[in-house]
Amino acid sequence: MTTFTKLDDGDQPGIFVYPSHKLSKINDNVYSGFTEHMGRCIYGGLYDPSNPNMHLIDDNGFRIDVIEAFKELSVPVVRYPGGNFVATYHWLDGVGPRDQRPKRAELAWLGVETNEVGTDEFMKWCEVVGTEPYLALNFGTGTLDEALGWLEYCNSEQDTHYANLRRKHGREKPYNVKYWALGNECWGPWQVEQMTKEDYAKKAYQWAKALKMQDPSITLILCGENGVSHWDFHVLTQCLKPDVHALGGSATKSLIDMHSIHMYTAAKDPITNALAPRLAERSIEICAGLIDLARQVNQVPATVPAPTICFDEWNVWDPARAPGETGAEEQYTLSDALAVAVWLNVFVRQSKYIGMANIAQSVNVISPLMTHANGLVKQTTWWPLLLFSKYMRGSTVAAHVSCPTASGSEHAWLDASAAMGDDGWVSLVVVNVHPSETFDITVQGVQTSAAEVEKYVITGESWQATNTETDQAVKIHENKWGGKGPCSFAKMSMTMLRWKPSGGA
């Protein structure tokens, strides 16, 4: 957690880091991804066998450059196949011989789904990348029987119908898919078979019982809204209940392991845009309180672990600027890159409550990666994601920021988080959203035996700077800082400082 003190304009800002004060573990799954059958995410993103540049394509039809990018990020989990798409998706359409798979009208994004990529292809892609799959179940046109069949196909070692169907399709060993979502945004008016909170809670609870009876090892994710709604409160109080029957008599397990919330941010004003992800901080805190309240109301024993929050859709997205029906291909700016940095600061600060976070999405669709026939573009938002994924792991450590706020608002010019890795290195991220002022600040708590502190800066010439096939206007600039005296935090920038504390720092 990072605390904050508001200063008057002209006062000297301060940054304080306390490496010995570890607060909570940062779950590696915070740096997870999301791929949906939407726009060019799957076809042309993950899978591109018709690309004339065959050196970019492996023997499975997957894009090698995309695989390498995922490996560079060390993405631990990837959600699939939706998203809104999943509300009419029938997994059986996407298995077996490709020439026998049906083409279906796709209602979420108003297209045609060829089913050329399905369960086995996605599982193969995950194995190549070195990531875990996270599957969302069809709560729209799907049935419980269909969901149980998919779970059996993926995870069962038994001599049963769907496990044998998997074997028939060439996969002897089960995939052992751990993460399963109980629907997606079922509360939304854009959903096929939108539900009331009452109908969803009843259905989710019954499905959870059946799914855990079949495979008690799985992690089930409840469909929440934004963490602060009547929907969230109702489904949590109805679904976070002791159920020793469905759990084989155990008083140390829960039917529901995580609660999903979604949020996208965007604003025309670049400063407001960069700071908007702070809204998610309050949502996380309130949602964590609702989880605690539901457990108290339902007298859930303390021996049962509390569900964590699965923030499995987050990003900067303006649907008016990049409509989903046309592929949602955002061209991101420096302002958007700083917004992503603030998003990630929030997740680090709130690591006590976050079990997973999935940037939506991972390729082409509102994504830090954009493919084209000859390669890919790493958008402005790629660079903060890369630095966080590489270095902001381990444990959140205490920090404090004091600085002035933007005129007419309570939003501080500086946003920060700090972490200590398992290797003993401290990483501090500071986002400066001031449009014209570089802050020179003495950072308290930097005690290192090294001669210098590593310094990484992401910035650009203007708020609207973007990256293209020919120009990386926003990228990482690496240099050093002596560790003593003021450190400069440039206007419109994200700065990461890294050092190994000496002695008992």
DSSP class per residue in 161-227: HHHHHHHHTT--S-----EEES-S-TT-TTSTT---HHHHHHHHHHHHHHHHHH-TT-EEEEE-SSS
Question: Does residue 32 have a pLDDT over 60?
Answer: yes
Helices marked H in 302-410 — which ranges? 334-349, 382-391
Q: Letter for the amino acid at 14?
A: G
Average pLDDT score over residue span 363-368: 98
Q: Is the pLDDT of residue 450 over 90?
A: no
Q: Give the pLDDT mean for 183-198.
A: 97
Give the pLDDT band of residue 504 (cuts 50, 70, 90). Answer: very low
pTM: 0.96
Q: pLDDT tens across 308-340, in order?
A: 999 999 999 999 999 998 999 999 999 999 999
3-state class of 322 per DSSP? coil
Percent of the chain residues past pLDDT 90, beyond the cut: 91
Q: Are the beta carbons of 483 and 453 closer than 8 angstroms?
A: yes
**Domains identified in the chain and CATH numbers:** 2-21+399-499 (2.60.40.1180), 27-394 (3.20.20.80)
Is 80 exceeded by the pLDDT of residue 243? Answer: no
DSSP letters along 413-476, please?
SEEEEEEE-TTS-EEEEEEE--SS--EEEEEET--BSSS-EEEEEEE-SSTT-BB-SS-B-SEE
Residue 27 has pLDDT above 50, yes or no: yes
pLDDT confidence of 352, banded at 50, 70, 90? Answer: very high
**Residue 274 above 60 pLDDT?**
yes
- Closest by CA position to 257, among listed 214, 213, 285, 220: 220
Residue 273 has what pLDDT?
96
pLDDT at 503 over 90: no
At residue 449, the pLDDT reads: 65
Q: Which of the residues are catalytic?
A: 185, 313
Dist. CA 75–CA 425, nearest whole Å: 21
Ramachandran angles phi, psi of 62, nearest 5°:
-85, 150
Q: What is the pLDDT of residue 244?
A: 62
| pLDDT interval class at 505 (50, 70, 90) | very low
**405-431 CB burial, b ≥16 within 10 A, e <16:** beeeeebbbbbbbbbbbeeebbbbbbb
Q: Is 325 left (phi over 0), alpha (psi -120 to 50) or beta?
A: alpha
pLDDT band at 410 (very low <50, low <70, confident <90, very high): confident
Q: What percentage of residues in the chain have a pLDDT greater than 70?
A: 98
Buried (b) or exposed (e) across 383-401, using 16+ Cβ within 10 A? bbbbbbbbbbbbbbbbbbb
pLDDT band at 451 (very low <50, low <70, confident <90, very high): confident
Mean pLDDT within 84-100:
97
Top-confidence residue, 290 or 243? 290
Q: What is the pLDDT of residue 49?
A: 97
- Give CA–CA dist 355/224, Å, rounded: 14
Which of 68, 75, 85, 30 is CA-nearest to residue 365?
85
Mean pLDDT of the chain: 95
Residue 135 clears pLDDT 50, i.e. is over it: yes
